[in-house]
Amino acid sequence: MKQVLAQAMVLGLALVAALGLALPNAAQAQGGPLRIEITEGTIEPMAYAVPSFVAETPGAQQYAEQITQVIADDLTGTGLFREIPRDAHISRITSFESPVQFADWKAINALVLLTGAVSEQNGRVTVKFRIWDVFAGTELGDGMQFAATSDGWRRLAHKVADQVYSRLTGESGYFDSRVVFVSESGPKDQRAKRLAIMDYDGANVQYLTDSRSIVLAPRFSPNGERVLYTSYESGEPRVHVLNVGAVQSQIMSAGGGVMSFAPRFSPDGSKVVYSVTSGSNTDIYMRDLASGSTTQLTFTPAIETAPSFSPDGSRIVFESDRSGSQQLYVMPASGGEPTRISFGQGRYGTPVWSPRGDLIAFTKQNQGRFHIGVMRTDGSEERLLTASHLDEGPTWAPNGRVLMFSRETQGASGTSSLYSVDVAGRKLTRVRTPDGASDPSWGPLQ
């Protein structure tokens, strides 16, 4: 296990500074076999136990139970971990400082034990936790604590889960992150759409626009502060930029009579790639946000759309039907000759470069079915992760290990929902949203 852990981490949430606390008796982080390899195709989920965190102040009981539940939901939701139910537990954890009875946890085959405590004081919630390697009888890394205002308690839980995930997989987590998406209501022929933002697990939904105009395909900026989206507010589809904090939007480019859509930020947030339709032709353009200068990147009479930068900013993957059907191409970010990378059966669209740089996710349409899939950036090792009547528009979790996408059910009463799936295709999960939902864009780890 890598020695990456601080004695205590200070977390600023909602402008409230957290107290740092060096936990006593913290065991040394150590190397060991307790590690889950998340790239393997099929694995046995790692069994863990998480007894309800101890409430250390009178007002903390409810937070302790809720935080423990969210942590368990995060971990179990990955498909990498399996929670041993509480009614199987032998030991009870009544104090954060009590010695752990490892034999009791070994007896129920828990490989990992997570213990924690929650306190609440003056509207602030503090959570501290330790991760234990049950069979080695040692602590995995050092204990940590996080604090926030009480309305940020879910983020505290996600922070803890991210630490557990990180220590057990060696990867960064993705639970303390948000997703911007399109909230949908109404039947298919009168569907109302508005932009919304939520926690990655569907909690804390907030609406960013009303439903007067069609809104499509929001995309987070790399730092999560801005959102690009396409709106019909002016009558025709145009790219807009919205400041998430101020909930203020503006049309990105001036000039009427032009349809623009499918925008995405560059990795440094300074540029936007997007499509412009002129007549029957759709090409890809890049706009420098500071100078407002615009560069045309593709020049064929075909449909070129859905551009996405590589994480180093040097290349752009996009879709084009220049060959006669939708296929994926990679070109230098400055434009230039593209290389086709998709060659399988069917049509390929909406490519998205993984933040790790290793894979490109896409929507594939073949024989009346839609799939979310991944391939290496040269097009090799294509793997389809889902299949349904209509799956589309994948977006990467900030650690590049999970995808979220839209799934529309078949028929006159069809509705759209968000799903997530890990890159190995093991765990498909529906993300609960209050209404229908589509076009997710996963923001950065907060």
Partner 1 sequence: MTYLSKALMIAAALGLAACTSGDRFGAGSGADGYGAGAGANAGIVPGSANDPQSPAYFNQTIGDRVLFLVDQSSLTPEAQATLDAQAGWLMTNSDYLAVIEGHADEQGTREYNIALGARRANATMEYLISKGVAPNRLKIISYGKERPVEICSEESCYAKNRRAVTVISMGLGS
H runs (alpha helix) in 108-185: 153-169
Query: Which SS3 state, helix, strand or coil, does residue 260 take?
Result: strand
- Among residues 392, 407, 441, 445, which is the contact residue for partner 1, using CB under 8 A? 392
Distance CA(216)–CA(262), nearest Å, equals: 9
- Among residues 231, 249, 282, 298, which is the contact residue for partner 1, using CB under 8 A? 282
Q: Which is nearer to partner 1, 61 or 277 (CB)?
A: 277
Angle of CA points 152, 158, 163, to nearest 5°: 130
Query: Which SS3 state, helix, strand or coil, does residue 97 take?
Result: coil
* Tokens 């209509």, located at residue: 390
- Among residues 81, 165, 229, 261, which is the contact residue for partner 1, using CB under 8 A? 261
395 binds partner 1 (CB under 8 A): no
Half-sphere exposure of 118 (CA within 13 A, CB side): 29
CB contact at 8 A, 312 and 326: no
Site string for partner 1, 131-160 (x = CB under 8 A): ------------------------------
Distance CA(199)–CA(181), nearest Å, equals: 11
Q: Which is nearer to partner 1, 212 or 376 (CB)?
A: 212
Distance CA(172)–CA(142), nearest Å, equals: 17
Among 76-84, 100-108, 109-117, 186-194, which window interacts with partner 1 (CB under 8 A)? 186-194
Distance CA(166)–CA(178), nearest Å, equals: 18
Site string for partner 1, 344-373 (x = CB under 8 A): -----xx------------x-x--x-----
Distance CA(307)–CA(329), nearest Å, equals: 9
- Among residues 119, 305, 308, 395, which is the contact residue for partner 1, using CB under 8 A? 305
- Among residues 12, 32, 123, 187, which is the contact residue for partner 1, using CB under 8 A? 187
CB contact at 8 A, 191 and 43: no
Name which of residues 225 to 254 contact partner 1 (CB under 8 A).
232, 235-237
Counting residues that bind partner 1 (by CB under 8 A) gives: 46
Task: Tabulate helix, strand, coil % of the chain (nearest 5).
Answer: 10, 40, 45
Q: Which is nearer to partner 1, 142 or 319 (CB)?
A: 319
331's CB contacts (< 8 A; 6+ apart) are 297, 298, 315, 316, 318, 337, 338, 339
- Among residues 83, 120, 382, 408, which is the contact residue for partner 1, using CB under 8 A? 408
306 binds partner 1 (CB under 8 A): yes
Give residues in contact with partner 1 (CB under 8 A). 187-192, 211-214, 216-217, 232, 235-237, 257, 259, 261-262, 275, 277, 279-280, 282, 303, 305-306, 319, 321, 326, 349-350, 363, 365, 368, 389-390, 392-393, 408, 410-412, 414, 439
